[in-house]
Amino acid sequence: MTQHLVTIHHRDDYDPSVEGEAMQRKSPSTQTSNQLTRRDFAIRTAGFGLALGLAPAATLAEAQQASHSETSPAVADPYSLVDPELLPVLKQFPAVDLSAELVGEFRQLPAMPPLPGPAPQPVERHIPGPPGAPEVRLWVVDPAPLKKAKPLLLHMHGGGLMMRDPEWMPLLQGIATDCHCVVVSVDYRLAPETRYPGSLEDNYAALKWVHAHAAELGIDRSRIAVGGESAGGGHAASLAIHARDRKEVPIIIQLLIYPQLDDRTGSSHPAPPAIGHFMWTASANRFAWSSLLGVPAGSSKVPAAAVPARAASVAGLPPAWIGVGSIDLFAEEDMEYARRLVHAGVATELLVVPGAFHGFDRLVPDAEVSQQFSASWKSALRRAFATGKADIAE
C-alpha cells in the first residue's frame, strides 16, 4: 500500500486552544477542503500517524523552500541527506493543506484493526483515573495468558501529543510477540483539550495500576518497563522522572524511540541546518508543545516539570535505550539527553541512524536501517527483562 504524508498548516498567530474548540464542534461527516474521502484519509495516515508540518505552504516543494529560509539556507537539497533506501517512499508523499477541523476528522477515523490470531489480541480495560479525572482506558496484550511472572512494557503511543497512532494495535501485538512480554498501552488524554499534567497523570495512574495488579496480570512487578515512540517516548521519559521522584513504582528500563523531549527545539533552540526537514518540523514542534503546555513553547513560562529535557537532574533514573535518526528534528535533543544520563551514571544506549528522518522505521519497515533499528530496541528490551530487576521498596 502506498503511504503518504499529511501535513497541517496554520497561521503564525494560531491559538491551539481554538483548535480544541473546533475539534469538539466539528461534525465527523464534514467534507475536507482537499476532497479526501474517509478511506483516502485513512490510507494516507496509516503508515505513521499524522505528521504535523506547520510551515505556511501548500505543496511539498513550497514547504521545503519555507523550511530552507527559516533554518537551513546552507542545505541545498535536504533529500541528499536521506538514506537511499528510504528515499523512494519519502518522495511519494504529497503535502496536504490540513485544517484544524480536519484534525478533528482524523480523530474520528477508524484505526488499523488488530492483527488476526494467532497474534495475541488486545483487551480493553478501564481503570480509575487521577483524582477528579475520568477513567483511563488501557489496551492489554498478553502473548501467554497462562504464564506467570512475565515482564511488562507500559507503552505510551505517539501522535504529536494531540492524536493517536493509527497503527497502534498491530504495533502492540508485535512488541508483545517479539519481546515475550505483556504490553499495556495507555490511551492518555490528548492536547489541546487536556493540558499538562493531564496526560502525565493518566500515564502515572496506569503505572500504579499495573504495579498493584501484578498478580491479576500475571506479571513480575520488578520487571516493568516504560516506553513509546515520538510523543509517546517523551511521555515515557517524563513518567520515568516522576516515578523516580514519587518513589512508588520501580522501572527497569525506559525505551525511548525518537522521543519528543524538549519544547525548546525549533523555538528558543533553532534547528541545525541538516535536520528536521521531513515528517516533523520546527513549527510542528512549537505548535504541539504549546498545545500541551498552554503557554508558548520555549518560553520562560514553561514549567520545568512538564518537559523531560528541562529536568534539573537525571540522576537515579532507570537505564535507557534511546534511538533517533540523524536528520530527525529530535536528533540533538535526544543525543543531549543521552549525554546527561551518561554523565549522571545512568546506563544508557544511544543509537543514531545515518540518513534517517522521523518515523523512518514505520514508513519503510523493510529497509535495512529500519530492521536494524527495530532489532536494536527489541534486543535492549529483551535483555533488560532477562538480566535485570528493578529495586522494590517494601
Whether 358 is catalytic: yes
CA 185/CA 205 separation, integer angstroms: 12
Contact 132, 231 (CB under 8 A): no
CA distances from 185 to 5, 82, 229, 236, 355 (A): 25, 32, 12, 11, 30
Instruction: Exactly one of 290, 358, 361, 370 is catalytic; name it.
Output: 358
Burial 62-87 (b: 16+ CB within 10 A, else e): ebbebbbebbbeebeebeebbbeebb
Q: Which grid cell sits at 58?
A: 501548500
Whether 343 is catalytic: no
Contacts of 294 (CB under 8 A, 6+ apart): 17, 192, 195, 196
CA quadruple 289, 290, 295, 296: dihedral positive or negative?
A: positive
Parallel, antiparallel, or unpaired for β 150-156 and 219-229?
parallel
CA distances from 183 to 157, 309, 333 (A): 12, 26, 27
Q: What angle do CA 81, 87, 91 make, to 5 degrees?
A: 110
Which residue from 62, 288, 38, 312 is spatially nearest to 159, judged by alpha carbons?
A: 288
Whether 263 is catalytic: no
CA 370/CA 353 separation, integer angstroms: 9
* H/E stretch holding 221: strand 219-229
Q: Which residue has the cell 525511548?
A: 256
* Number of alpha carbons in the 13 Å side-chain half-sphere of residue 22: 15
Instruction: Exactly one of 328, 334, 361, 370 is catalytic; name it.
Output: 328
Instruction: Exactly one of 230, 238, 267, 283 is catalytic; name it.
Output: 230
Among all residues, which ones are annotated catalytic? 230, 328, 358
